[in-house]
A = this chain, B = another copy of it.
């Protein structure tokens, strides 16, 4: 691909994150993450993974499974400041070839405004049993972090 995309909003970075998940696109995935050793990723039911190398390797393995996912994001709660945005979302994931959606995940995504645009610094996902099924609620304006 060559050039790395610049995300001008945290939402753009989030959209690219889930797009990379649907496309099994490791380069796009890693373009979303900050170039930083302090990045933290927790996959559902998984241990914490920290740092560029480990985060890349974890996604490489996930994408190598070849499983095709469709991800619908619902019930986003956004807390936004000048330099940091925190999104709490429900991920409704469907595996292509399976009929039913799996149980929703709840994810905490933290984005940082860097010199290279908005980048992800934390992704923490865990199964959310009993979460209401994903009907998008009316969008609310983002909450400002003072």
Contacts and interface: CB of A to CB of B under 8 A. Distances in A.
A126 B44 CA distance: 8
Interface string A120-132: 0110101111110
B38 A143 contact: yes
A115 B113 CA distance: 23
Copies in the complex: 2
A83 interface: yes
Contacts of A121: 79, 86
Interface residues of A, number: 39
Given A88-B40, A129-B45, A82 B83 contact: yes
14 contacts: A40-B88, A42-B126, A47-B106, A47-B131, A48-B90, A48-B106, A48-B131, A50-B77, A79-B121, A81-B81, A83-B83, A84-B84, A86-B110, A112-B146
